[in-house]
Amino acid sequence: MIHRNLCTLACILWSALATHASEPLPSWNDSSSRRAILSFVAKVTDKSGGSFVPPAQRIAVFDNDGTLWPENPIPFQMSFTIEEIKRQLPQHPEWKSDKDIQAALSGDFPPLLRDHFRGLLHIISVAGSGMTTDEFAASVRRWFASAKHPRFNKAYDGLAYQPMQELLAYLRANGFKNYIVSGGGLDFMRAFSERVYGVVPEQVVGSHTAVVYELRDSGPVLVKTMNRLFVDDGAAKPEAIHQFIGRRPIAAFGNSDGDKEMLEYTTIGNPLPSLGLLIHHTDKEREYAYDAKPQSSGKLITALAEAPQRGWVVTDMKKDWRLIFSE
């Protein structure tokens, strides 16, 4: 084992030197946000300092919608799901009496986003139910290949925030294990997280329903169901972090009140140094501007109000980000 540890150490030193060569986080303006991130990472990776955190404990958790990519005009998975519902509609006359499906089809979105997106998660599980996980993943990939965001007129997976892409890479280069902990669907996110964010499937935590194992003539499959819905938002985020990861994170990144408990769990009374950061959507010109209002799928009210007393960094997208999307 010794040679392996030496080798790992050499890798870390090598990365540290390489990181020095090019400035990290180039799409972040020189702001208190950027400085807070750099100083936190410097602190936890400095072996000679008193705040060193061993790599195995460097767990960072990221919300997805509104944190790593936009959540407007509606969450991207909602656009995908509405397409799926339209496609499958002829086979499902019973959907006529499902009021969430009818709301989605008529464009009446606010009721679906209330109460931790329960209506949205319901239509997501209805639309996926009965498919194998492979069929579902293929369907997500097809959608990404054809659908375009209505405002930016780009493929949805081309809309990852460039500064957050740099942050993911910077943390990874500094020995962090990045997890996505999102209200979005587990199977939906895993169909693109590695390709788009460099986050492997086993580091994605999300909303989900039970799958059922079947050994078919073609081989083993897992069939999606509507049972045991778990909505990974609010207090459910630290609950899911415990179940899926089993360690307390040392860094948490979110943008809405649904991320408040995840930031609390990461930063309050953590025996290790920790960082909580909220992305504040303030840029109407380049992206969107919202917190308490106007209407948006994510709200940022309580978490924003508590940020100063909790020591959470608030990133102002308009001021702190030189770029929003890659050019």
Name the residues that contact a second copy, by CB under 8 A.
Answer: 1, 3-4, 7-8, 10-11, 14-15, 18, 56, 59, 133, 169, 173, 177, 186, 190, 200-202, 204, 208, 210-213, 215, 218-220, 222, 228, 235-236, 238-239, 242-247, 261, 264-265, 268-270
Phi, psi of 143, deg, nearest 5: -65, -45
Residue with smaller CB distance to a second copy, 95 or 253: 253
CB neighbours of 50 closer than 8 A, spacing ≥ 6? none
Residue with smaller CB distance to a second copy, 60 or 85: 60
Greatest Cα pair distance, the chain, in angstroms, is 66
For the bound state, the minimum distance from the C-beta of residue 223 to a second copy, rounded and expressed in Å, comes to 10
Work out whether the CA dihedral 255, 258, 260, 265 comes out positive or negative.
negative
For the bound state, the minimum distance from the C-beta of residue 3 to a second copy, rounded and expressed in Å, comes to 5
Structure tokens at 175: 């020995």
For the bound state, the minimum distance from the C-beta of residue 312 to a second copy, rounded and expressed in Å, comes to 14
For the bound state, the minimum distance from the C-beta of residue 226 to a second copy, rounded and expressed in Å, comes to 15
Phi, psi of 2, deg, nearest 5: -60, -45
Cα separation, 66 vs 296, in Å, equals 10
For the bound state, the minimum distance from the C-beta of residue 235 to a second copy, rounded and expressed in Å, comes to 4
Q: Which helix (H) or strand (E) is 113 found in, with range?
A: helix 110-128
For the bound state, the minimum distance from the C-beta of residue 278 to a second copy, rounded and expressed in Å, comes to 17
Residue with smaller CB distance to a second copy, 5 or 97: 5
Residue with smaller CB distance to a second copy, 183 or 238: 238
* HSE-CB for 266 with a 13 A CA cutoff: 29
Residue with smaller CB distance to a second copy, 30 or 134: 134
Burial level of 219, CB count in 10 A (0-12/13-18/19+)? exposed
For the bound state, the minimum distance from the C-beta of residue 263 to a second copy, rounded and expressed in Å, comes to 10
Residue pair 8/146 in contact (Cβ under 8 Å)? The answer is no
CB neighbours of 157 closer than 8 A, spacing ≥ 6? 144, 192, 195, 196
Cα separation, 132 vs 323, in Å, equals 39
204 beta partners: 180
CB atoms inside a 10 Å sphere around CB 201 = 12
For the bound state, the minimum distance from the C-beta of residue 185 to a second copy, rounded and expressed in Å, comes to 12
Residue with smaller CB distance to a second copy, 152 or 170: 170
Residue with smaller CB distance to a second copy, 136 or 325: 136
Residue with smaller CB distance to a second copy, 86 or 141: 141
Structure tokens at 278: 């909220």
